[in-house]
Amino acid sequence: MPCATWAPPCPWTRPTSTASPRPSRTSARATPRAALAELPELRAVAKEFGDRDRLWELVEALDGLPRGVAMHPCGVLLSDASLLARTPVVPTSGEGLPMSQFDKEDVEDLGLLKLDVLGVRMQSAMAHAVTEVERATGERVDLDAVEPGDPATYRLIQSTETLGCFQIESPGQRDLVGRLQPSTFHDLVVDISLFRPGPVAADMVRPFIEARHGRAPVRYPHPDLAEPLKETYGVVVFHEQIIHIVDIMTGCGRDEADRVRRGLSDPESQGRIRFWFAQHAAAKGYDTETIARAWEIVEAFGSYGFCKAHAVAFAVPTYQSAWLKAHHPAAFYAGLLTHDPGMYPKRLLLADARRRGVPILPLDVNRSAVAHRIELVSDNSGSRDVWGLRLALSDVHGISEAEAARIADGQPYASLVDFWERARPSKPVAQRLAQVGALDAFGANRRDLQLH
């Protein structure tokens, strides 16, 4: 069942103690009467209505209430058949599915299980690449069974030539993998986790890289914290490490430590949590300097990082996409261009493919498919065959799915007349096909083709 999301969302976080009251929805911003007193543009309103206390009491009671309800884009509630008896529901717009009216905080307070089921287009891109390899070569690639420590894959990642690779293609990530030089799967997990606001704000990236390459000694805020931090050279990278640190230094237990971690995202809760942390850590015998340093790390990291399981789940397609780029580059680019999962325009991906030696084969109504595909061609020297990337009919501006399918299904065509009569493209599409050279196989120059 989909989960609701309110607009505006409720600006409160789970308190560190279940006995603490829920903060007011309006506590984090000015009240309407305060705004009347402070904002010049509201002074005329204040003069007209400023003495009507009952009116402003009603306004303040309404301020901050949800303006509407919408479906959480990927939140799904899991339960047994009794779920409908335990949550109010409304139909979703369009599909009419039953949607819980509880938001994510309500769901947690009630003990229901909510999953965020995310769609990742890179999975479709990799599936297309694997299908192309099997279609063209007969080789069936099982990405879940590829060699885990493949040298060619890690050489590609270390070179920062990672355009199109899941999670490591942005300029910032390419800079990070260049400095980190990942050589194991654990390194990829750490890399993905380091590239988050929490570790960056806590200045965790530089110390980790320095310690990993042996340019600086491994340091721990306190010897007691060596166990949770030893796998990351004394640097906090994962949510679990924050939970472990809070648990060790306060003795509160892992469940309460996780509530503390989540409460750090609320500025109003941080002061209360800081006092609680310092009080309990001092009671456990930690000195003021250690407490201050540990709190600095915990506060800066906050809730803006990854749990390790999340990072591992992201590192798997990261490695698989890099493996495809290293071993089946033409198919890799075919998948990227067909499903467009990344952050770069297609012209940059094509430039990257050319730079890495993948021939780009032009549109051809006798050879192009609806989607991008791979094709065996001779390299520039003519001494060996390489896999090239044949551009897709679906990339022609204005072409419909039906037109692209008719053209592909009718291949090959003997002449322009044959193509016109059997493929039945619209006149604008036929003109564009002539302009980009997709009709060059019929012999005439492109101007004459357009005139015909």
What is the per-residue pLDDT for 371?
Answer: 96
Residue 419: phi and psi, rounded to 5, are -60, -45
Tell me: pLDDT of 64 over 80: no
Alpha carbons 202 and 193: distance in angstroms, whole number: 13
Please report, as a single letter, which amino acid is at residue 65: L
**The pTM is what?**
0.80
Tell me: pLDDT of 24 over 60: no
Tell me: pLDDT of 22 over 60: no
Among 18-32, 86-100, 368-382, the range scoring the smallest mean pLDDT is 18-32
Average pLDDT, the chain: 86
Among 23-32, 137-146, 333-342, the range scoring the smallest mean pLDDT is 23-32
The size of the chain, in residues, is 452
Give Dmax (Cα) for the chain: 90
Residue 85 Cα distances to 77, 112, 336, angstroms: 13, 13, 44
Q: Which long-range contacts (CB under 8 A, 24 or more apart) does 89-94 make?
A: 89/1, 90/4, 92/2
Contact between 191 and 183 under an 8 Å Cβ cutoff? The reply is no
What is the per-residue pLDDT for 50?
Answer: 59
Contact between 363 and 396 under an 8 Å Cβ cutoff? The reply is yes
Angle at alpha carbon of residue 381, lines to 375 and 385, rounded to 5°: 30
What is the per-residue pLDDT for 4?
Answer: 66
Per residue in 197-211, pLDDT (tens digit) is 777 777 788 989 999
Cβ neighbours, 10 Å, residue 181: 16
Alpha carbons 335 and 371: distance in angstroms, whole number: 9
Q: Which residues contact 44 (CB under 8 A, 6 or more apart)?
A: none
* Structure tokens that stand for 2 in this block: 């989909």
Please report, as a single letter, which amino acid is at residue 219: R
Tell me: pLDDT of 25 over 60: no
Tell me: pLDDT of 11 over 60: no
What is the per-residue pLDDT for 98?
Answer: 87
Tell me: pLDDT of 93 over 90: no
Tell me: pLDDT of 151 over 90: yes
What angle, rounded to 10 degrees, do the helices at 288-301 and 239-250 form? 150
- pLDDT band at residue 317 under the 50/70/90 scheme: very high
Per residue in 365-419, pLDDT (tens digit) is 999 999 999 999 987 776 788 999 999 999 999 999 999 999 999 999 999 899 9
Contact between 236 and 301 under an 8 Å Cβ cutoff? The reply is yes
Alpha carbons 209 and 438: distance in angstroms, whole number: 50
Among 10-14, 39-43, 402-406, the range scoring the smallest mean pLDDT is 10-14
Alpha carbons 31 and 100: distance in angstroms, whole number: 31
Beta-ladder partners of 378: 385
What is the per-residue pLDDT for 30?
Answer: 62
Contact between 379 and 386 under an 8 Å Cβ cutoff? The reply is yes
